[in-house]
Amino acid sequence: MMLPSGWRFIRVFTACALATLFAVPQSLVAQVHIVSPGELQKRVLDTSNERQKNLDIVLRFLSSPAAQKAMTMVHTDATQVKTGVSRLSDQELARLAARAQKADADFAAGSISDRDLLIILVAVLVLVVIILAAEH
């Protein structure tokens, strides 16, 4: 029995595809990387360093006398807040660090008063508490 030429083409194509698939060593396929292991390690290290830098900025901001005063005013445990900050995602921590740096710079330049700084600190504390509450 003769197969139509379309079926013959499909059979030949399938046979060639399977032969190619099994002829290529799997070790060769496994060695092809889009990102090299060295580049991946560098990216992980850069991300880790950036996170640590942001964490240091926020913790330094929360350790200031004004922050301590704000935490006392809203009856918040500083240790809990600092622990909570360390559990924030990288993006949340980066945004918080940017806000902390801006508030510090504005306060140092005299652009904002003690009262304004306290309001900012209370807002930061509330933000941290909300983010942590959303995790649970």
* Contact of 61 with 67, CB cutoff 8 Å: yes
On whether residue 10 sits in a domain, the answer given is no
User: How many C-beta atoms lie closer than 10 Å to residue 70's C-beta?
Assistant: 21
* Phi and psi, residue 85, nearest 5°: -60, -40
Domain count, the chain: 1
Rounded CA gap, 4 and 7, in Å?
Answer: 6
pLDDT at 50: 95
Which of 48, 128, 20 shows the shortest CA–CA distance to 12?
A: 20
On whether residue 59 sits in a domain, the answer given is yes
On whether residue 68 sits in a domain, the answer given is yes
pLDDT at 25: 62
Q: What is the DSSP letter of 88?
A: S
pLDDT at 16: 67
Per-residue pLDDT of the chain (136 residues; tens, 9 = 90+): 455 666 677 777 777 676 666 666 665 555 555 777 888 888 888 888 999 999 999 999 888 888 888 888 878 888 888 888 888 889 988 998 998 898 888 878 888 887 887 888 888 777 777 777 777 6
Task: Write down the residue that tokens 């806000």 correspond to.
Answer: 99
On whether residue 19 sits in a domain, the answer given is no
Task: Write down the residue that tokens 């900012």 correspond to.
Answer: 120
pLDDT at 54: 93
With both helix axes pointing from N to C terminus, report the angle between 78-86 and 114-135 in degrees, rounded to the nearest 10: 60
Domain that holds residue 112: 39-135
Instruction: Report pTM.
Output: 0.65
On whether residue 106 sits in a domain, the answer given is yes
On whether residue 28 sits in a domain, the answer given is no
pLDDT at 53: 95
* Contact of 75 with 124, CB cutoff 8 Å: no
